[in-house]
Structure formats: C-alpha cells, structure tokens
C-alpha cells in the first residue's frame, strides 16, 4: 500500500503559480474585510485570499488583520499558551545544509549522542524544572533509525522524578518510510515534525546539496503523507524563514496544509516558522532576511489562513519579540530551552551557550519559571495539558473539536490543573502567588458551574495531596 501511495504522490508546490498569485494580489479593503470575516468564521483561507493579506501595505488594514488574528486565537484557543522544551539526543548528520551548525562539513561541531545514563540525567533535570512535554531532536544519520528513536521515546516515558514525568513526546527528526512511522507511532509519540525549510525549489537545491539525503525535495515534501499512512495523524510542518521570500514560504505552508486536508481529511497539527539564526561556521546570504515587522505579519496571516492549527514560536526569538508575538495567534512556545547535548544538567551549575555544540543560537534562554511568571502577568494561562493526545483527540478527531472552536472548552480546565501542578511542585514563591491568583480569576470565568466545581476540587487535591494528572 505504501508503494502505491508514493507512486501516486506528486509535487503539489508550483513555484510559478505561487509567484503569479503574489503578483496578482490586490488587497482591496472591501475584499480584505470579507476575507477576515471568513477566517473569523473559522474557515481555512484559499491561496488567493492569503495572497491578498500578504500584499497588504495599508497601515489601517494591517491593524485590522492583526486584530482579527488576536480575536481568532482567543476564540479557538483562549488565553492559554502550551509550554514544551526541546531535548537534543544526537547531532550526527550526513546532510550538509548551508544554514545549519550540524552540517557534515562543519569540522568545528562537537559530535555527540547521549548515552542512556546521560539521557536519564537530562530527563531528571527537565522534570525537576516542571516540564511535562518534550520534543526530541536528532540529526539525520544511520545511527538514528526509527527503532533506536522509538527506544529512546520509551525511555523518556518511563523516567520519573518525584511528581515529575514526561506526558507527551513529540519528534523533530529526519523523514522516515511508512514502516518507520509505524514504529514511532507504536512507541507512543505525539506529533512528528518535518520542516521543508523552504518550499522554493531552486533555493532548496542551493542550500541542500544533491548528494545528501536531504537533497531529495520530494522525499521530504511527502514525508507527512507517509506519516499519515503509518498512523501518525498529528504532524507538524514548518519553514525556516530567511532562505527565500517570506510571502512565498507562507503560501507554501498553506498549500501543504491544503494538500494534507484534501488527501487525508486532516491538516497539520502545528506550523512552525523559525527565522535563520547564527550558527557555527555559517555565513548566510541575508538578502531574504525577515525583519521583525514582516515576521509579525507572517504570524498574523498564518493564524488567519489556518485557524485550527497550533502555531509554534521558538526561543530563536528574543524575549521582547516573543512577548509581543504571543498576542497575534501563537499557541505554543518552548521555555527554559537548551540545545547543546547534555546542557540541561549543566545549566544547574550555570552553564551557558556554546555555538559549536548547538544547531543554532538561542535568543531566549530565560529559566522556565521566569517565562511562566511573565505569561501569568500578561494574563496568559501556561499549560502543560496533554489530554487530547492521551484520550485520542488527535488527527481528524482533534480537527472535529478545534475547527469549530470547541477545543477551548476542554483545554482551559486542563490548562488550569496543569498550572496548579507546576505552581505547587516547582514554582518560585513569586510565581506561585501570581499563578494561583490567575487561577482564581480564570475559574470565575468558567461558564459551567459543574465544570468550575470539578476544576476547583481537582486543584485542591493537587495542592493538598500527592494526586496529579487529574485531567478531563
């Protein structure tokens, strides 16, 4: 069956057609407001409609776009922000991507794969900070087949420290064949991320040499198709902004979303949009650099174009930019992040970034507690909720809840209970006080009296006993 699927698969990214749509886009104010109304009705936008939003220059209309993105995010996801941490397992890589510190030709890179004991220590360090959700990262190398990655996933789930445990393991790794995705699904993974990096064919060839595994554009483009067939119904797509024109890349992400919807009935669970950052021994062409103003527009348009999909903003960005961008539709961020292998246990002793040991430079290295406190002060609910994944609300089932906006009803109560866990077990006193005040305010806004009472009882159990993981 997998062979039949792969033979039928075609390249759904037409560079010329994308460019034509971008050139032809005319953001007439009446038409723009019609498009915004469609998005606020929680309908995914078409490419021509998205091109019109990307072409906007008028400041007043731009403000309306940003306001619509804020409104839509609140309608679908509420004011919660899901938190996770990246955990790098191995940085060996056979690829030679021009922008990456892990590329095989970078002799300055420190190559390492965590041993089981080192992995255990990293997990304990993460759990002792309060993390419940991880994304595991590997380079592309024969030492990291699906079976080995699945073994690591099982070790992650089985490692406990006090009240700490990892409840959801997502993956960012090389594309697999269908059998490989089945292996990963059997290990209990959540979302499997594969970023196309750039959808522009000529640019893809320039930055991914043809004699490397990553040089095969179509193999990477169709990795999510194989994942779906292998039973992984939560997939993440993404682009590395700065390799080519940002407008083109937004269109590529939308076309990829439409392809998955049409073929499998479910779009991506998440969309990521990192910008190119400083990396070890990398000299990048900055002709396609995305300024902060345009980057904010990227976030707003993506939120409006695909209302139901989670948007991930990473610690590649500064704390100041992240704080502002959260208001435009972001639903997930990493926090307390370290991306050198073994760095979480080192950071207990005040370790800092070392460029030759990481894939790229991070710009937000604040401790988890600081990020959580800032979110609380800004009226956001930090969330470590994993109930949808564990109750089978994934893939098509997740879309049934999220597209109409129903997912907010489930996630807000679970966000409050997971926040109560963090505040009780890990938070500083200042964060704890602010957090429980936020919980009281949010509980008063829960419309259902029954739900409000259930949440209150569960939070009281968390505060006064060893009971944890009391999700809806």
- Model confidence pLDDT, tens digit, residues 19-42: 999 999 989 999 999 999 999 999
The structure tokens 């024969």 sit at 142
Angle at 377 between CA 372 and CA 380, to 5 degrees: 70
Tokens at residue 116, please?
């089981």
d(CA 75, CA 379): 15
d(CA 141, CA 104): 10
**SS3 state of residue 66:** helix
pTM, entire model:
0.93
Tokens at residue 146, please?
């699906």
In the chain, which residues have pLDDT < 50?
Answer: 1-7, 349
- 163, exposed or middle or buried, with CB in 10 Å at 0-12, 13-18, 19+? middle
* pLDDT at residue number 472: 76
Q: 45-49, long-range: CB within 8 Å, 24+ apart, which pairs?
A: 45/254, 45/304, 45/305, 45/306, 47/18, 47/21, 47/251, 47/254, 47/255, 47/258, 48/21, 49/305
DSSP 465: S
d(CA 326, CA 78): 12
Nearest residue to 172 via CA among 323, 334, 13, 12: 334
* pLDDT at residue number 469: 87
pLDDT digits (tens, 9 = 90+) for 82-105: 999 999 999 999 999 999 999 999
């Amino acid at each position: 069956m997998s062979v039949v699927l792969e033979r039928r698969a075609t390249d759904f990214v037409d560079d010329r057609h994308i460019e034509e749509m971008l050139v032809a886009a005319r953001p007439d104010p009446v038409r723009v407001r019609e498009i915004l109304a469609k998005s606020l009705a929680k309908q995914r936008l078409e490419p021509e409609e998205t091109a019109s939003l990307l072409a906007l220059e008028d400041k007043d209309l731009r403000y309306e776009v940003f306001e619509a993105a804020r409104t839509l995010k609140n309608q679908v996801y509420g004011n919660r922000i899901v938190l996770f941490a990246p955990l790098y397992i191995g940085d060996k890589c056979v690829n030679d991507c021009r922008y990456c510190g892990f590329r095989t030709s970078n002799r300055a890179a420190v190559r390492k794969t965590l041993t089981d004991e080192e992995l255990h220590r990293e997990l304990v360090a993460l759990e002792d900070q309060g993390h419940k959700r991880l994304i595991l990262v590997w380079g592309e190398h024969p030492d990291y087949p699906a079976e080995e990655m699945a073994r690591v996933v099982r070790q992650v789930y089985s490692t406990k420290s006090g009240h700490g445990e990892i409840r959801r393991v997502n993956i960012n790794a090389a594309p697999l064949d269908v059998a490989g995705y089945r292996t990963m699904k059997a290990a209990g993974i959540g979302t499997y991320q594969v970023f196309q990096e750039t959808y522009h064919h000529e640019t893809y060839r320039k930055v991914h040499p043809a004699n490397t595994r990553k040089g095969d554009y179509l193999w990477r483009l169709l990795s999510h198709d194989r994942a779906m067939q292998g039973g992984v119904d939560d997939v993440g797509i993404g682009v590395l902004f700065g390799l080519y024109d940002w407008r083109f890349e937004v269109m590529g992400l939308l076309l990829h979303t439409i392809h998955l919807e049409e073929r499998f009935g479910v779009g991506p669970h998440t969309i990521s949009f990192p910008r190119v950052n400083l990396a070890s021994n990398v000299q990048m062409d900055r002709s396609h650099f995305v300024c902060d103003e345009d980057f904010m527009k990227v976030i707003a348009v993506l939120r409006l174009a695909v209302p139901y999909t989670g948007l991930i903003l990473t610690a590649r960005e500064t704390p100041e930019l992240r704080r502002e961008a959260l208001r435009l539709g972001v639903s997930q961020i990493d926090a307390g992040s370290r991306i050198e292998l073994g760095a979480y246990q080192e950071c207990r002793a005040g370790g800092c970034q070392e460029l030759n040991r990481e894939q790229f430079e991070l710009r937000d290295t604040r401790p988890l507690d600081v990020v959580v406190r800032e979110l609380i002060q800004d009226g956001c609910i930090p969330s470590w909720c994993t109930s949808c994944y564990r109750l089978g609300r994934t893939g098509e089932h997740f879309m049934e809840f999220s597209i109409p906006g129903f997912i907010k009803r489930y996630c807000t109560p679970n966000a409050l209970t997971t926040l109560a866990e963090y505040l009780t077990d890990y938070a500083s006193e200042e964060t704890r006080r602010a957090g429980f005040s936020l919980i009281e305010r949010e509980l008063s806004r829960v419309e259902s009296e029954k739900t409000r009472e259930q949440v209150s009882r569960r939070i009281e159990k968390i505060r006064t006993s060893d009971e944890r993981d009391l999700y809806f």
